[in-house]
């Protein structure tokens, strides 16, 4: 008998973490789950549809309600450890993130955090979201793939990086392909950092900190125009945007594969490329 807690614990194990991150959570608990509707963004309409179609639970990747939505900004602190891993001094990493964390906290404060969770409770349908664990799975998978394919090529170019990313099925199947946002195809990639698991993009100060620590190319899911413009002006490193939905789908699919091994029927929708 599979519960929502079992599903969350499976995701944590696959991500190699012990505690539920603050951007993830079980909104309505459920037991005896056999049939799941899973999507990148699952809101009130998807809850209604799942109820009508007889699903036992709904899983959203992104947080849309409750404490995971309110506390989303706190998970950006994971980026400090990631920056330190790539050689950024811990004090510099913390300062680089402060502006972005403050901006997200202010943005979340006035939100109607109860809207979606109240409907889930009224419908009495198990509902949860799994954000950072899936993103960590994606980040680890893509970084390992890049390292395995390019670590011996000290003169790998951005085109080489794109070609290696395109070996991953989710990028092959997606209508949105990995693209170079800063740099040119024949530019050397240098040291590559895959940054896909820290809540959201850390901002221009974070990118600059990585480049000043010796990273040559950042691979991320998405990059705002102001960050792209700042990186171009800095003229230090390169940025490849792998794509949001296909990148999210990598970690989600690894989780779904394990859920199916447990006998759970999973229907994918709302952005998942399978």
pLDDT given for residue 220 in this prediction: 97
In a shared domain, residues 195 and 89: no
In a shared domain, residues 239 and 252: no
CA pair distance 191, 219, nearest whole angstrom: 11
CA pair distance 52, 57, nearest whole angstrom: 12
In a shared domain, residues 102 and 144: no
In a shared domain, residues 237 and 252: no
Whether 125 is covered by a domain: the verdict is yes
CATH assignment of the domain containing 16:
3.40.1390
How far is residue 60 from each of residues 64, 84, 219, measured CA to CA in Å? 8, 30, 24
Whether 39 is covered by a domain: the verdict is yes
Give the count of domains, the chain: 2
pLDDT given for residue 202 in this prediction: 87
In a shared domain, residues 252 and 116: yes
In a shared domain, residues 97 and 146: no
pLDDT given for residue 63 in this prediction: 97
Phi-psi region of 271 (alpha: psi -120 to 50; beta: other; left: phi over 0): left
CA pair distance 117, 257, nearest whole angstrom: 27
In a shared domain, residues 40 and 147: no
In a shared domain, residues 169 and 99: no
Whether 97 is covered by a domain: the verdict is yes
Whether 271 is covered by a domain: the verdict is no
In a shared domain, residues 31 and 102: yes
Whether 187 is covered by a domain: the verdict is yes
CATH assignment of the domain containing 212:
3.40.1390.30
Domain hosting 169: range is 136-243
pLDDT given for residue 200 in this prediction: 85
Whether 274 is covered by a domain: the verdict is no
Whether 272 is covered by a domain: the verdict is no
Whether 93 is covered by a domain: the verdict is yes
pLDDT given for residue 205 in this prediction: 93
In a shared domain, residues 44 and 72: yes
Going residue by residue through the chain, which has 274 residues, state the pLDDT in tens, using 9 for 90 and above.
899 999 999 999 999 999 999 999 999 999 999 999 999 999 999 999 999 999 999 999 999 999 999 999 999 999 999 999 999 999 999 999 998 999 999 988 999 999 999 999 999 999 999 999 999 999 999 999 999 999 999 999 999 999 999 999 999 999 999 999 999 999 999 999 999 998 888 889 999 999 999 999 999 999 999 999 999 999 999 999 999 999 999 999 999 999 999 999 999 999 999 9
In a shared domain, residues 93 and 206: no
**How do residues 67-103 score in pLDDT, each as one tens digit?**
999 999 999 999 999 999 999 999 999 999 998 999 9
In a shared domain, residues 30 and 127: yes
Residue 61 annotated as part of some ligand binding site: yes
């Amino acid at each position: 008998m599979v519960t929502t807690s079992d599903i969350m614990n499976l995701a944590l194990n696959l991500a190699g973490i012990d505690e539920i991150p603050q951007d993830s959570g079980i909104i309505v608990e459920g037991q005896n789950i056999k049939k799941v509707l899973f999507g990148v963004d699952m809101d009130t309409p998807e809850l209604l549809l799942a109820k009508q179609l007889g699903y036992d639970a709904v899983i959203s990747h992104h947080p849309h309600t409750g404490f995971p939505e309110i506390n989303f900004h706190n998970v950006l602190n994971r980026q400090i450890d990631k920056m330190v891993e790539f050689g950024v001094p811990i004090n510099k990493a913390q300062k680089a993130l402060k502006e972005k964390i403050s901006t997200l906290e202010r943005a979340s404060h006035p939100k109607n955090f109860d809207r979606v969770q109240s409907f889930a409770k009224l419908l009495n349908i198990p509902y949860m979201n799994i954000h950072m664990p899936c993103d960590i799975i994606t980040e680890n998978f893509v970084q390992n793939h890049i390292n395995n394919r390019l670590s011996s090529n000290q003169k790998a170019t951005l085109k080489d990086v794109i070609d290696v990313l395109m070996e991953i099925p989710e990028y092959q199947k997606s209508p949105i392909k990995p693209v170079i946002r800063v740099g040119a195809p024949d530019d050397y990639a240098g040291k590559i950092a895959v940054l896909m698991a820290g809540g959201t993009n850390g901002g221009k100060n974070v990118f600059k900190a990585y480049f000043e620590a010796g990273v040559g190319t950042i691979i991320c899911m998405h990059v705002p125009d102001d960050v792209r413009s700042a990186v171009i002006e800095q003229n230090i490193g390169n940025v490849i945007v792998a794509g949001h939905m296909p990148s999210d789908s990598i970690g989600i699919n690894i989780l779904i594969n394990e859920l199916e091994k447990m006998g759970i029927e999973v229907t994918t929708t709302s952005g998942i490329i399978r």
